[in-house]
Amino acid sequence: MIKEITHNLYYVGVNDNSKVLFERLWPLPYGVSYNAYLIKDKHNVLIDTVEYPFNKNFFDNIKEVIADENIDYVVVNHMEPDHSSSLLQLIEKYPDIKIIGNKKTIDMLNGFYGITTNILEVKDGETLQIGERTLSFHLTPMVHWPETMMTYVNEEGILFSGDAFGAFGSLKNGIMDVDANIELVTDEMYRYYSNIVGKYGGPVEKAIEKLSSLPINYICSTHGPIWHEKISYVVEHYLKMARYQSEEGVVIAYGSMYGHTADVAKNIYDALNDAGVKNVVMHDLSDVDASFVLRDVFKYNTLILGSPTYNSEIFPKVADLTVKLEGRMIKNKTFSCFGSYSWAGQAVKRLNAFAERMEWNIVEPQIEIKQAGLNVNIKALSQQLAENIIKAIRN
């Protein structure tokens, strides 16, 4: 699939509809695209490559654009192998090609691929004239790795943004934002961001601020659609995620072995809906991948975790989620928890300790039932919790 995005700028990326788990971790129900771009000018310039197993289509796309012309430069905005692992094959096909990267890129080029020659090092803000166009290079460390940078075409306001503004989902319906189902792309952007980049909110915000003075007509990310008609939407949305800002809503995520913790979860879910809380979603962590729960945690301002006590600890599926949440240093949450135990309760105590470490706003009552909790008025406690959550999030 190639397409001219604007005069002499071509999409030469590929769709991956076969991979099951991105990074061998994150499900891909809608696939993923590895985006690469080719600028035709006095000097032809490729921006990024694609993941190695998919590079046949990529090289075919390039050929379709430039036939037997040479490629003079390849800009490596990001070294993660989903974008860099075709570099050796690229060099084989275009032996004179110069690789453009920054100091940190150079170290990684050697470490990943043993590439040490034909490299042009660029510094923050440096420019390169490629004919009619001028490229400028902007270092944006930790969006998502330390070497990440963005490349900008000064004359046309085209930003090649690396992973930033990217989303899961292959580009089946076309490569531009106007071709996309924005609701689905937004969901898959939440998932890409929360799963992959979520730890680096600070650097993402800094990068957006750093580039805010540049007029931008196109944002060409390494994943997902090219943003042109909806640039202000995507920038605003991305900033919101970077700042851990979320909308009213409650995520109930729980584990349950024999249905007792699930019963409390259902009561809380009903109580929140009855009380008129917007966007109440519930996940049984034995049924759903944490990827989707992280998406919802980034979307909504309240998290309620439920866990049985298991070997005197938090149930493993719930504990695993807490590790992922802590790893992303998620801020600004209203929190509560619930649980069950058979002879000695530990889960609720440990979940509270986790929420205190995260410096979240903890709301009570926290329902912890012994065995089936037959003598506990779970419904009434759930209603009380729902009322208190509303007070906490609407104040």
Contacting positions for ligand FEO (CB under 6 A) = 78, 80, 82-83, 144, 163, 222-223
Residue 168: φ, ψ to 5°: -65, 170
Cβ closest to ligand FEO, residue 171 vs residue 303: 171
CB neighbours of 140 closer than 8 A, spacing ≥ 6?
Answer: 148, 149, 150, 162, 164, 203, 206, 207, 210, 211
Task: Give least dist CB 299 to ligand FEO, A.
Answer: 21
CB 110 within 8 A of CB 86: no
Cβ closest to ligand FEO, residue 80 vs residue 187: 80
Cβ closest to ligand FEO, residue 51 vs residue 296: 51
Task: Give least dist CB 162 to ligand FEO, A.
Answer: 7
Euclidean distance between the first and the last CA atom of the chain, given in angstroms as a whole number: 50
Q: CA-to-CA distance for 260 and 272, rounded, in angstroms?
A: 19
Task: Give least dist CB 201 to ligand FEO, A.
Answer: 15
Q: Which long-range contacts (C-beta less than 8 Å, at least 24 apart) are formed by 370-377?
A: 370/340, 370/341, 370/342, 370/343, 370/345, 371/260, 371/340, 371/341, 371/342, 372/260, 373/260, 373/263, 373/264, 373/340
Task: Give least dist CB 250 to ligand FEO, A.
Answer: 31
Residue nearest to ligand FEO as judged by C-beta position: 80
Cβ closest to ligand FEO, residue 143 vs residue 389: 143
Cβ closest to ligand FEO, residue 78 vs residue 260: 78
Beta strands 218-221; 247-254: pairing state: unpaired
Cβ closest to ligand FEO, residue 78 vs residue 317: 78
Task: Give least dist CB 163 to ligand FEO, A.
Answer: 4
Task: Give least dist CB 239 to ligand FEO, A.
Answer: 19
